[in-house]
């Protein structure tokens, strides 16, 4: 998966909201800077400029967030996004930083773990949007099922015992092409979202404000799910807990190094049977 970087814009509120405005140049520039910073950070096999790339990325991200915050707090969406508050920026920052980690870390297993972090923070963003089911499904499918498969493959395919990883694991293939394709695509999405007049896509979010209030009053979403689980499926839930405990015990048993039992648990104090 490719990172989704910076819904950021250096543009002014007026520039974005103005009817008939085209994609402003600040946004284009921010995307380009992001592309350059990511290209610098991608593993090339030899260290060069990655710190500089990271610095560029952090600056662009921070600037983008400030711009976004200013724009949202004055626009017609202010009421809609107010309940999310600071959490949106926190989780968005975690998601973006982890996404960079996914593509930039030289060791595949860490990339997979960064991907878990991306999934979890995106799930948090979905919860902020009241899309709780989407959030749960995202975690179950991506962090649960797909990632376990990834990790299996990585474990089976990577050499152990201090042998350095193969070139194709350490160096990204065609970084320039990948960055170009993904950021051109990103630019197209940003053009659609912010480049034109405010249209139905953005305004559809506005009712969310009232949605928050309604959800708090009614017994909906995750709360209802939890109540249902404990009211009607209490025994299966307990059973699932036992199943997970067993799996955990099994994982420890199978992955533990085989050492003499005396060293692990303690000395023999009775003669052998």
Partner 1 sequence: MNLHGLLPEMIMLAAAAVILLNGLCPRESVRRASQWLALAGLVAAFVAAWRLAAPGQHAGWPLWPLATFGSLLASGVGLLAVLASWNMPFKDQPTETDSAYRGEYFALLLCSLAGLSMMAKVNNLIWLFLALELVSMPTYIMVAAGRGQSAAQEAGVKYFFLGALSAAVYLFGFSYLYGFAGSTRFSTIAAAFHSALALGHPPAIALIGLLMVVLGISYKIAAVPLHYYAPDVYQGAATPVTAFLAFTPKAAGFIALILVFNLTGWQLSSSLAGAVPALLMALAVVTMFVGNVLALLQRNLKRILAYSSIAHSGYMLAALALGPALSPEATRPGELGGSSINGLSALLFYLAAYSLMTLGAFAVLIYLEGQTGAAEDFDGIAGLAGEHPLAAGCMAVCLFSLIGMPGTVGFLGKLFIVQAALAAHHPVLAVIIVINAAIAATYYLRIVAAMYLRAAATPLTVRRPALALKLSAAVATFLVIFFGLFPGALYRQSVAGGRSVPTVYSAAHWPGRSAKRTAVGMPGSARAGLWAN
Please report, as ranges, the residues that interact with partner 1 according to CB under 8 A: 233, 235-236, 239-240, 242-243, 246-247, 249-250, 253-254, 256, 258-262, 264-273
Of 86 and 252, nearer to partner 1 (C-beta) is 252
Of 133 and 233, nearer to partner 1 (C-beta) is 233
Of 173 and 242, nearer to partner 1 (C-beta) is 242
Query: Closest distance between partner 1 and the C-beta of residue 223, in Å?
Result: 20
Calpha distance 139→133 (Å, rounded)? 10
DSSP for 161-174 reads TTPPPPHHHHS-SS
Confirm if 13 and 71 have CB atoms less than 8 A apart. yes
Query: Closest distance between partner 1 and the C-beta of residue 237, in Å?
Result: 9
Of 82 and 243, nearer to partner 1 (C-beta) is 243
CA distances from residue 20 to 23, 27, 76, 197 in whole angstroms, order as listed = 10, 16, 17, 5
- Look up residue 94 and give its two tokens: 């975690």
Calpha distance 26→9 (Å, rounded)? 6
Calpha distance 168→151 (Å, rounded)? 17
Query: Closest distance between partner 1 and the C-beta of residue 234, in Å?
Result: 10
Of 230 and 233, nearer to partner 1 (C-beta) is 233
Calpha distance 175→36 (Å, rounded)? 11
Query: Closest distance between partner 1 and the C-beta of residue 162, in Å?
Result: 22
DSSP state of 140: I
Query: Closest distance between partner 1 and the C-beta of residue 259, in Å?
Result: 8
Of 1 and 240, nearer to partner 1 (C-beta) is 240
Dihedral sign of CA atoms 173, 175, 180, 185 in order: positive
3-state secondary structure of 259: coil
Query: Closest distance between partner 1 and the C-beta of residue 215, in Å?
Result: 26
Give the largest Cα separation in the chain, rounded.
89
């Amino acid at each position: 998966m490719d990172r989704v970087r910076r819904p950021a814009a250096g543009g002014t509120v007026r520039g974005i909201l103005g009817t008939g405005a085209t994609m402003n140049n600040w946004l284009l520039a921010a995307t380009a800077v992001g592309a350059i910073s990511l290209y610098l950070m991608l593993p090339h096999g030899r260290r060069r400029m990655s710190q500089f790339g990271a610095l560029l990325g952090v600056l662009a991200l921070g600037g983008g967030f400030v711009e976004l915050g200013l724009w949202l707090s004055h626009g017609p969406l202010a009421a809609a996004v107010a309940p999310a508050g600071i959490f949106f920026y926190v989780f968005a920052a975690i998601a973006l930083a982890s996404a960079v980690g996914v593509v930039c870390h030289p060791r595949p297993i860490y990339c997979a773990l960064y991907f878990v972090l991306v999934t979890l923070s995106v799930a948090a963003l979905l919860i902020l949007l009241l899309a709780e089911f989407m959030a749960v499904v995202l975690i179950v499918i991506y962090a649960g099922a797909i990632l376990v498969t990834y990790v299996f493959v990585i474990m089976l395919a990577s050499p152990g015992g201090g042998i350095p990883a193969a070139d194709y694991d350490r160096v990204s293939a065609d970084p320039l092409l990948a960055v170009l394709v993904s950021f051109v695509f990103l630019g197209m999405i940003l053009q659609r979202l912010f480049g034109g007049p405010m249209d139905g896509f953005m305004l559809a979010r506005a009712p969310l404000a009232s949605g928050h209030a309604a959800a708090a009053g009614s017994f909906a979403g995750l709360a209802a799910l939890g109540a249902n689980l404990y009211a009607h499926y209490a025994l299966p839930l307990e059973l699932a807990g036992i199943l997970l405990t067993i799996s955990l015990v099994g994982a420890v048993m199978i992955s533990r190094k085989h050492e003499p039992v005396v060293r692990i648990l303690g000395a023999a104090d009775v003669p052998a049977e």
